[in-house]
Amino acid sequence: MDQQLLEVEERERQQQRHNETRRKGYLLALVLGLVFIIIAAIGIGMRLSESHALAKETEEIAVPSVEVIHPTPEPPQSELELPATLQANIESPIYARTTGYVRRWYKDIGSKVKKGELLAEIETPEGDGRENQFLYARRGRPECCRCQPPPTGATGIV
């Protein structure tokens, strides 16, 4: 009996050690779980505060501060004149298709001009005479016309 009693006591001790080990394991798991939850809560809290700070900063930056001005043209204070020589790479003669002369100059070489501005008037008496003959012929006055108007629908004219 003593032996059975010793065996029972030994089993109870082993059972107690096993239960204590189990309790220590549960306690360790509980402590580690709490530490993990605390660390996660701190991390989530930091992220939320950073997110709110970023949203606030973005909102401040998103509102543009614009100063509107209305520009007005001013006359140039000085002209920029650079020393240079303007010369063509290739020079070619240009022959006029009709004879004539310059009736009136409006601008000289080197003058500043604007788009569409008249530079000179050219007088072409020979061309004006041909134009007048053609116009008289079109109106049906053959007495003052020595030439025929160009035929309509003619082919081969270049």
Q: What is the pLDDT of residues 13-28, one digit of tens each?
A: 888 888 888 888 899 9
Helix (H) or strand (E) holding 129, with range, is: helix 125-139
pLDDT score of 146: 53
Is pLDDT at 109 greater than 70 in this prediction?
Answer: yes
Return the beta strands (E) in the chain as ranges.
Answer: 101-105, 120-123
Q: Is residue 142 very low, low, confident or very high in pLDDT (cuts 50, 70, 90)?
A: low
* Spatial separation of the C-alpha atoms in residues 132 and 143, rounded to whole Å: 13
Comparing CA positions, the residue from 103, 96, 99 lying closest to residue 118 is 103
Query: Which residue is listed with tokens 């569409």?
Result: 116
| Phi, psi (deg, nearest 5) at residue 15 | -65, -40
Running DSSP on this structure, what letter comes out for residue 89? S
Query: Which residue is listed with tokens 């709110």?
Result: 52
Is pLDDT at 47 greater than 90 in this prediction?
Answer: yes
pLDDT score of 33: 95
**H helix count then E strand count, the chain:** 2, 2
